[in-house]
Amino acid sequence: MESYCIYGASGHGKVILEILENLGQDIHCFYDDNINKTSLLNYEVTSDVSIFAIESVCWIIGIGNNQTRKKIAENLSLKYGVAIDKRANVSKRTQIGSGTVIMPGVTINSSTIIGKHAIFNTNSSIDHDCIIGDYVHISPNAALCGGIIVGEGAHIGAGAVLIPGIKIGKWATIGAGAVIVRDVPEFSIFVGNPGRLKSKGTKEK
């Protein structure tokens, strides 16, 4: 059994808390930089940065925003764990990076490679041989067919469907319910069925 701290006393943090509770892990506390937050679901919330010096705990970043999660992870050299819900179906041949969260009802099939600090939200489905980059967020009920590559920081919206073998560029956004039938350039936003370009950015994250 590990002892965990969760960075972010938020709704996303609540889900991570319950995943860890169901796994029988010890919850040390939440950390949040809002000094007015002192408890969440009967657990302590601290804003004291000395908590980062405790070497015996694992951390999960409980913040859904991909850019914020990346900034925190890069600024804090902590021991990051993983949180995989008991009700998820994850192939034993899946590689999972540190800090990643896999929520209830998720299916991840054989030979998928997952980066660091990714989020697989409720009931999302990832088929075989996908490559999912660092800081990606796969929203509830999104479905990725086999052999898809998703670049760093991309956000796949709720209920989106991605056909086999396509590539989603880094920091791209796929709108809720979109059906993506071709490659998506980095930093761009695709929406609709079939997916079409809504806007394209060039700024590095």
Count the neighbouring beta carbons within 10 Å of the beta carbon of residue 205: 14
Of 156, 151, 163, nearest in space to 177 by CA: 156
Spot the catalytic one: 12, 28, 128, 155. Answer: 128
Round to whole Å and give the CA distance between 37 and 46. 8
92 and 186 housed in the same domain: yes
Residue 205 falls inside a structural domain: no
Quick check: is 128 catalytic?
yes
Residue range 92-103: mean pLDDT, rounded: 98
pLDDT digits (tens, 9 = 90+) for 15-51: 999 999 999 999 999 999 999 999 999 999 999 999 9
Range of the structural domain that residue 180 is part of = 83-192
Over the chain, what is the mean pLDDT? 96
pLDDT digits (tens, 9 = 90+) for 141-168: 999 999 999 999 999 999 999 999 999 9
When divided into structural domains, the chain yields a total of 2
Residue 197 falls inside a structural domain: no
Q: How far apart are the first and last CA of the chain?
A: 36
Single-letter amino acid, residue 129 = D
The whole-number pLDDT of residue 200 equals 83
Tell me, what CATH number does 34's domain have?
Answer: 3.40.50.20
Residue 198 falls inside a structural domain: no
Residue range 165-180: mean pLDDT, rounded: 98
